[in-house]
Amino acid sequence: MDTGTAYEFTPGLPRLELTQVGRGTPYGEVLRRYWQPIALSSDASRTPRQVRVLGEDLILFRTGRGSPGLLYPRCAHRGASLFYGGVERDGIRCCYHGWVFDTEGRCLEQPCEPENGLHRDRVRQPWYPVHERYGLIWAYLGPPDRKPLLPRYDVLETAAADESLITDGSGVGGGGPAFLDFNWLQHWENVLDPFHVPILHARFSGFQFSPEMALMPEVQFEYTACGVRSTQRRFLGDGRTLRRVTEVMFPNLRVVPSPRLKAGPTNILGWVVPCDDESFQIFTVAKDAAPDFLIKLRSTYGGKAWSELTPEEHQRMPGDYEAQKSQGTITLHGDDHLITTDQGVAMLRRMMAKQIRNVADGGDPPGVIFDGNDVIAIEGGNFFEDQ
Amino acid sequence: MDTGTAYEFTPGLPRLELTQVGRGTPYGEVLRRYWQPIALSSDASRTPRQVRVLGEDLILFRTGRGSPGLLYPRCAHRGASLFYGGVERDGIRCCYHGWVFDTEGRCLEQPCEPENGLHRDRVRQPWYPVHERYGLIWAYLGPPDRKPLLPRYDVLETAAADESLITDGSGVGGGGPAFLDFNWLQHWENVLDPFHVPILHARFSGFQFSPEMALMPEVQFEYTACGVRSTQRRFLGDGRTLRRVTEVMFPNLRVVPSPRLKAGPTNILGWVVPCDDESFQIFTVAKDAAPDFLIKLRSTYGGKAWSELTPEEHQRMPGDYEAQKSQGTITLHGDDHLITTDQGVAMLRRMMAKQIRNVADGGDPPGVIFDGNDVIAIEGGNFFEDQ
Amino acid sequence: MDTGTAYEFTPGLPRLELTQVGRGTPYGEVLRRYWQPIALSSDASRTPRQVRVLGEDLILFRTGRGSPGLLYPRCAHRGASLFYGGVERDGIRCCYHGWVFDTEGRCLEQPCEPENGLHRDRVRQPWYPVHERYGLIWAYLGPPDRKPLLPRYDVLETAAADESLITDGSGVGGGGPAFLDFNWLQHWENVLDPFHVPILHARFSGFQFSPEMALMPEVQFEYTACGVRSTQRRFLGDGRTLRRVTEVMFPNLRVVPSPRLKAGPTNILGWVVPCDDESFQIFTVAKDAAPDFLIKLRSTYGGKAWSELTPEEHQRMPGDYEAQKSQGTITLHGDDHLITTDQGVAMLRRMMAKQIRNVADGGDPPGVIFDGNDVIAIEGGNFFEDQ
């Protein structure tokens, strides 16, 4: 008699506590304890822009004074969207009845009302604090009494004379479109999965990165104060060893040095920012002398970019996007068979569960800074060593 | 510490009792106590047409004898749609097995059965009564024992020698497409919101109507026997005052005189007819000498019609459609901050709630006529007065 | 007062126990007790293919050895889809970490693991048994201990010298597209409804088949060991009678001889295979000398194929697809008014309900064969008889 047929198989469940991002969800509250990049600086302008972050729809704009603002879209008066608002010197004016709000949601004018609104100070448009740094707009969507400092990163703070910062929101590292249509965690935990590299990125689809990456590495995983780190050693056959260090840092930072193997400490950081439970965007900052450094990182297939491939070519030459998206919009974690090579993924999930409990119990999650030194040290990189 | 951030904000709820239109819903039963325009007369033909009104899908046709019929779409026999039916002299024949129904749902033939169906009189295709007037098909979808007369309107009953009636279903007054994809009430209550006119229609998007409409009016609201009326006075600076009267009449009539300010009693009436909870259509009847009078009312933007604008132009030059649609598919009434200039909206919502209770208690809502004088007097208009 | 209006009408319910096809549903378990055609033989190749059958998503492929395989799509390791897998000599390799599975789901390799996976024999990718016959891939999705023989059919086993088998998955007999987007039972029970032929296929849309089919037949229905049979007699006016026999055989076989009236026992069999509750595909096998025999069966309208018609032409010339689809995605069986001419449909629904109880009680449904003679006799055909 046949054994193991699908007739007896019952699919497992997703681990929603790790994947959901909305307000009040377990990991959504962890994410909300950190500043998050939500847009490029250039996205904040006199033209209001809709952004979706952690399941919340918001309107981003920049006042005539140059200050970025991030407001709840439905006008506090009658609910017309501030997407249609007119940006002025000090705020944004709703198109319907002309109420004006500043970047902290205070109502400055109610032009149809007597004396421009005698009680306009009783109205507050819901808002979030924002900052600009590294060419990105950062927002804090968490509890006001826990708002930390916006951190700096050592690898982005020191640049050689010919280097500058490059900012990107087009999905560098995702292997697909700018907005990725599946759960963010499938991408983030992939950072701790160095074993897929020689299979997916070399055996399957040609050398998507560099020939050295086709070698099966020796890997060590370790917890850090702020996340999980993996150190991969590849013996290059010429007496040298490539020691490659990748890591994730809470709550959603990816530290993946160039897969083209630029030597030294990484010059790239990326944030895996959930739009909602079923989509995310990657914001990347790099430090390099070449303005097109990040664009050149992206894989091509016979000279074609990902977006130019046919469905048949996508099937034949899958990359990170195809592998991770095909796990499902939200993968069924309960079906996973984690084994020795999945140790990094298992460690990350354990640490996430631990921090969910920590935050729910009133604690501060790892890496938030309230005073003192706001510079975070990054260990990742490609290090070529003589044996 | 930050105050008023969106982290603590909980969105309000829609008032479903005012917005829902289906059978058995509070205001849906108020709507069903009146005749409703459901199509242009020219829409009823030998080609069956699908219409959706008050959440019900129905098939409209016109028999060979010239009588319009409005039937439930699924054939009483086996459920094939009468959309595919063949219209004959006395009714419509289902394409599947040929049953024929007249305009009151009686089964006239069952051609596959012995003797054309010995028991065909036991079958009744669900139907609704219809009338034609003013170039429109009117239907009564309510309880048969409460069916009122189909009313006339004084402003449409008297025409000068050169005037004729003009009928339109393309969304005149809606500022957008023919089928509007949000809740009907957001449009209807806008009729009682004269203050948005100088903001949305003048300050924001150029002079969408006439320069006089850019002036902030003095406004009085009052209840009438059948709805709510607003009287707006604009001091024109040349010694004259424009007294503009708009009103809503139960359950969904909009009385909005020409925003191009044609003087005198209004020559336009419009019905805001819900297709379902999330979409509606506007049927308009005007009396004028120019056949294109209604088409010329529609706003243009730099010579372009609404449907020709790019998304960027829609954002930069919003009109009624953009403002009302952006409130949400069904706005969150619980979030509204109604203040002095919203008195008309507040009065209308109170009157709707009162009539919901009245109808639920077995009463007749305002303006239904069962006998006697069936002509309704309309007060709306643009009146230029010397001070 | 009006009677019979739709205001008092409450729509009926679908009979889900007859229509649903998923694992654990009443008729879904009946369907699972038989082999089902799921694809053409040519669909199984080195390029993995997604198939959806009885509500289950599966991956079909053919190993380098030539064996078709049908596996659950999500890799047992981390859930990446085997749609992106690479087919090898003995199985399919997941693109993400390279696990290899054979056609019975056994894990042959785990290339990132020490020694290719010391415990790989503990993993089983869910799979289903498949066979090839008549140019089709057949799968058994039911309980392993009840797996019957894959039957043969007498009319397909004997071919004249110039005849060969023709296989089709493009929707022959459905009157529409290859994938039909409504419940399968609406199509299947139509086989027992000979009365619609002179109405839908002759009176309405011209002679979709042959002129003789426009004659209203005399019909007898009878239960058989494996389903329901209808015998239709048409008196041709030239002294001859056409005796046409159509039947359905459990669980979803349609025996409909050529409506172009090729004489003799039918040379066509068709399986109505549900993709899920709301869509299905028809697999057809014919035995004929002309390779385009099945393609020529399809109706044309003024020289145009179904897919070339405009929406207006579809409305004016409905066929089986329009009639059955318009009953609804799943028709409301509770609204049916079954009368004398619907006897076949009523008999089929009764037999389905009886077999649902039989299978739920542990019995074997009609026509499953566990040993001995595996050839099923088919009675259907077009027989021209002298009176």
Of A80, A124, A126, the CB nearest to B327: A80
Q: Which secondary-structure segment (H or E) carries C162?
A: none
Give residue-wise pLDDT tens across range C76-132. 999 999 999 999 999 999 999 999 999 999 999 999 999 999 999 999 999 999 999
* pLDDT > 70 fraction of chain A, expressed in percent and rounded: 99
Query: Cβ(A246)–Cβ(A256) under 8 Å?
Result: yes
User: d(Cα A243, Cα C279) in Å, to the nearest integer?
Assistant: 53
Angle at A215 between CA A214 and CA A219, to 5 degrees: 120
Q: What is the model's pLDDT at position C207? A: 66
Q: Which secondary-structure segment (H or E) carries C359?
A: helix C343-360
- Pairwise CB contact (< 8 Å): A5 & C128: yes
Query: Cβ(A196)–Cβ(A205) under 8 Å?
Result: no
Q: Kindly list the residues from chain C whose CB atom is less than 8 angstroms away from the CB atom of residue A312.
A: 47
Q: What is the model's pLDDT at position B207? A: 66
DSSP secondary structure, A37-61, as one string: EEEEGGG-SSS-EEEEETTEEEEEE
Q: How far is B367 from chain C (nearest CA, A)?
A: 21
User: d(Cα B301, Cα B283) in Å, to the nearest integer?
Assistant: 24
User: d(Cα C153, Cα C367) in Å, to the nearest integer?
Assistant: 12
Of A84, A117, A127, the CB nearest to B315: A84
Q: Output the CA–CA distances (angstroms, integers) from residue A220 to A244, A357, C119, C127, in the order listed.
A: 11, 27, 21, 35
**In the CATH scheme, what architecture does the domain B35-131 have?**
3-layer Sandwich (2.102)
Residue type, B277: D
* pLDDT > 90 fraction of chain A, expressed in percent and rounded: 91
Confidence of residue C212 (pLDDT cuts 50, 70, 90): confident
Q: How far is B25 from chain C (nearest CA, A)?
A: 13
- Pairwise CB contact (< 8 Å): A56 & B196: no
| pTM, rounded to two decimals | 0.95
Give residue-wise pLDDT tens across range A158-167. 888 999 999 9
User: d(Cα C43, Cα C168) in Å, to the nearest integer?
Assistant: 12
Q: HSE, CB side, 13 Å, CA atoms: give it for residue A355.
A: 26
- CA pseudo-torsion sign C374, C380, C384, C387: positive
Q: What is the mean pLDDT of residues C189-194?
A: 97
Q: Kindly list the residues from chain C whose CB atom is less than 8 angstroms away from the CB atom of residue A337.
A: 76-78, 123
Query: Cβ(A48)–Cβ(A57) under 8 Å?
Result: no
Pairing of strands B381-386, B264-265: antiparallel
- Pairwise CB contact (< 8 Å): C79 & A331: yes
Residue C46's SS3 state is coil
Q: Search chain A and give the residue with CA nearest C98.
A: A199
User: d(Cα A261, Cα A210) in Å, to the nearest integer?
Assistant: 8
DSSP secondary structure, C299-349, as one string: --BTTB-GGG--HHHHHHS--HHHHHHTT-SS--GGG----GGGHHHHHHH
**CATH 3.90.380 placement within chain C:** 148-386
Give residue-wise pLDDT tens across range C132-182. 999 999 999 999 999 999 999 999 998 899 999 999 999 999 999 999 999
Of C1, C316, C328, the CB nearest to B79: C328
Query: Cβ(C102)–Cβ(C82) under 8 Å?
Result: no
Q: What is the model's pLDDT at position C210? A: 80
Q: Environment class of residue A70 by beta-carbon count within 10 Å: exposed (0-12), middle (13-18) or buried (19+)?
A: buried
With a CB cutoff of 8 Å and minimum separation 6, the contacts of A62 are A44, A45, A46, A68, A69, A87
Q: Output the CA–CA distances (angstroms, integers) from residue C286 to A190, C213, C228, in the order listed.
A: 50, 21, 21
CA-based nearest residue to B252, from B223, B233, B280, B224: B280
Of C74, C81, C124, the CB nearest to A4: C124
A199 φ/ψ angles, rounded to the nearest 5 degrees: -85, -70
Cβ count near B148 (within 10 Å): 18
A99 interface with B at CB cutoff 8 Å: no
Query: Cβ(C287)–Cβ(C159) under 8 Å?
Result: yes
Cβ count near A50 (within 10 Å): 13
Does B70 score more than 80 pLDDT? yes
User: d(Cα A112, Cα A71) in Å, to the nearest integer?
Assistant: 22
Q: How far is C150 from chain A (nearest CA, A)?
A: 15
Beta-strand ranges (E) seen in A185-332 are 218-223, 227-235, 240-249, 253-255, 264-265, 268-276, 279-288
Q: Output the CA–CA distances (angstroms, integers) from residue B11 to A75, B22, B336, in the order listed.
A: 12, 25, 10
Q: What is the mean pLDDT of residues B68-79?
A: 98
Of B9, B11, B323, the CB nearest to A80: B323
Q: What is the model's pLDDT at position A202? A: 86
Query: Cβ(C94)–Cβ(C80) under 8 Å?
Result: yes
- List chains adjacent to chain B, taking adjacency as at least 3 C-beta pairs closer than 8 Å: A, C
Q: Output the CA–CA distances (angstroms, integers) from residue C113 to A340, C105, C223, in the order listed.
A: 7, 19, 59
Give residue-wise pLDDT tens across range A42-86. 999 999 999 999 999 999 999 999 999 999 999 999 999 999 999
- Pairwise CB contact (< 8 Å): C113 & A315: no
Q: Which secondary-structure segment (H or E) carries A186?
A: helix A184-188
Q: What is the mean pLDDT of residues C198-224?
A: 87
Q: What is the mean pLDDT of residues A1-22?
A: 97
Instruction: Identify the CATH number of the domain defined by range C148-386.
Output: 3.90.380
DSSP secondary structure, B4-58, as one string: SBGGG-------HHHH--STTSHHHHHHTTSEEEEEEGGG-SSS-EEEEETTEEE
Does C202 score more than 80 pLDDT? yes
User: d(Cα A265, Cα A160) in Å, to the nearest integer?
Assistant: 14
With a CB cutoff of 8 Å and minimum separation 6, the contacts of B57 are B50, B51, B73
Angle at B342 between CA B337 and CA B344, to 5 degrees: 140
Least confident among B182-191, C243-252, C302-311, C321-330: C302-311
Pairing of strands A35-40, A279-288: unpaired
Mean pLDDT of chain B: 96
The gap between the terminal CA atoms of chain A, to the nearest Å, is 55
- List chains adjacent to chain C, taking adjacency as at least 3 C-beta pairs closer than 8 Å: A, B
Q: Kindly list the residues from chain B whose CB atom is less than 8 angstroms away from the CB atom of residue A142.
A: 7
Q: How far is C216 from chain B (nearest CA, A)?
A: 8
User: d(Cα A69, Cα A103) in Å, to the nearest integer?
Assistant: 5
Mean pLDDT of chain C: 96
Q: What is the model's pLDDT at position C164? A: 96
User: d(Cα B254, Cα B153) in Å, to the nearest integer?
Assistant: 13
A250 interface with B at CB cutoff 8 Å: no
**DSSP H helices in chain B:** 16-19, 26-31, 154-157, 184-188, 196-198, 293-297, 311-316, 320-325, 343-360
Q: What is the model's pLDDT at position A207? A: 66
Q: Environment class of residue A302 by beta-carbon count within 10 Å: exposed (0-12), middle (13-18) or buried (19+)?
A: exposed
Angle at B164 between CA B160 and CA B170, to 5 degrees: 145
User: d(Cα A269, Cα A152) in Å, to the nearest integer?
Assistant: 12
* pLDDT > 70 fraction of chain C, expressed in percent and rounded: 99
Q: Search chain A and give the residue with CA nearest C120.
A: A339
Q: What is the mean pLDDT of residues C346-357?
A: 98
C318 interface with B at CB cutoff 8 Å: yes
Pairing of strands A253-255, A268-276: antiparallel
Query: Cβ(C95)–Cβ(C84) under 8 Å?
Result: yes
Q: Search chain B and give the residue with CA nearest C312.
A: B47
Query: Cβ(B376)–Cβ(A156) under 8 Å?
Result: no
DSSP secondary structure, C251-292, as one string: TTEEE---TT---EE--EEEEEEEEETTEEEEEEEEEESSTT
Does A299 score more than 70 pLDDT? yes
Angle at C316 between CA C314 and CA C320, to 5 degrees: 55
Q: Hey, which residues 177-206 in chain B have their CB within 8 Å of chain C? A: none
Q: How far is B378 from chain A (nearest CA, A)?
A: 28
Residue B367's SS3 state is coil
- Per the structure block, which two tokens stand in for B36? 């409703």
B50 φ/ψ angles, rounded to the nearest 5 degrees: -85, 130
C74 interface with A at CB cutoff 8 Å: yes
Q: Which residues pair with C381 in a beta bridge?
A: C245, C265
C17 φ/ψ angles, rounded to the nearest 5 degrees: -65, -25
- Pairwise CB contact (< 8 Å): A77 & B204: no
Q: Output the CA–CA distances (angstroms, integers) from residue B274 to A343, B48, B247, in the order listed.
A: 58, 21, 19
- Per the structure block, which two tokens stand in for B208? 């969408």
Q: Environment class of residue C125 by beta-carbon count within 10 Å: exposed (0-12), middle (13-18) or buried (19+)?
A: buried
Q: What is the mean pLDDT of residues B298-305?
A: 87
Residue type, A357: R
**CATH 2.102.10.10 placement within chain A:** 35-131
Query: Cβ(C110)–Cβ(A212) under 8 Å?
Result: no
